[in-house]
Amino acid sequence: MLNSIQRLLNFDGCTNPQFSSPDGLGQVGVAGFLTGLVFGVHLSIAGCCLAINGLVLSRLLQWSLYSCSLSFFHFSEFFVTAVFKPDIVSYNSFVLNHSKEYTGALLASWAEFGLEAFLLPELKRQPAVVAAGVALALIGHWFRVGAMWTAGSNFNHEIMQRREESHQLVTRGVYRFLRHPSYFGWFWWSLGTQRRRLSASSRVEVMGGAGSVVDRPLVLCTCDLIAA
């Protein structure tokens, strides 16, 4: 099942040139439409929950806030890449199809939330923990977007094996305090989204998925630096 979903995210089997390549406008259009749709629908639902119930924590509000955060995260990945790296921006810039580990962690967390919401609803009534999750996700997202924005054209989603002539070492902004602020932000944003939804076991799964996303690039970066 996971392989099938990953193939769907990769548009495998499409023969139309606009959908068979990540550079095609078809893939970009579908991803942009779906991320915008998810964000808009869940933002409206969250607004209705707040208007009707005030600040009372509900399962629907938790899910809506999470979905807004997730969709905005993927949109911001594409948007910042489009601003600073217009020559390489593509469907892959949304990182929706990042890896099977990431996809699997998301699916597991969704399933857990659904089961707990209906079987153990009392576990979803911890406002302080949800607030902490929101804060953690916002901080992580700030570091992620801040790192990409500060690095500008020097940022790339893929590990560069060769140094480009235009590449410059970035030491300003968040890079003054952290060597890899984008990975730092990704990791804590991932953890914060799970705390926001009060998903206990999936925090371990998502941390594992996020860890796999972060670990390999860091190892490659370190090896490249040593080799250099």
| Residue 151: burial class (beta carbons within 10 Å; 0-12, 13-18, 19+) | buried
pTM for the whole thing?
A: 0.80
* pLDDT tens track, the chain, 228 positions: 899 999 999 999 999 999 999 999 999 999 999 999 999 999 999 999 999 988 777 889 989 999 999 999 999 999 999 999 898 899 999 999 988 988 998 898 899 888 888 887 776 677 788 888 889 999 999 999 999 888 887 777 766 666 667 777 888 888 888 888 888 998 899 888 877 666 555 445 455 555 555 444 444 444 444 444
Cα torsion 214, 217, 2, 148: sign: positive
Q: Which domain holds residue 107?
A: 2-227
* Counted domains in the chain: 1
- Which CATH number covers residue 37? 1.20.120
Cα torsion 42, 89, 23, 96: sign: negative
Q: Nearest Cα to 123, choosing from 132, 131, 113, 133?
A: 113
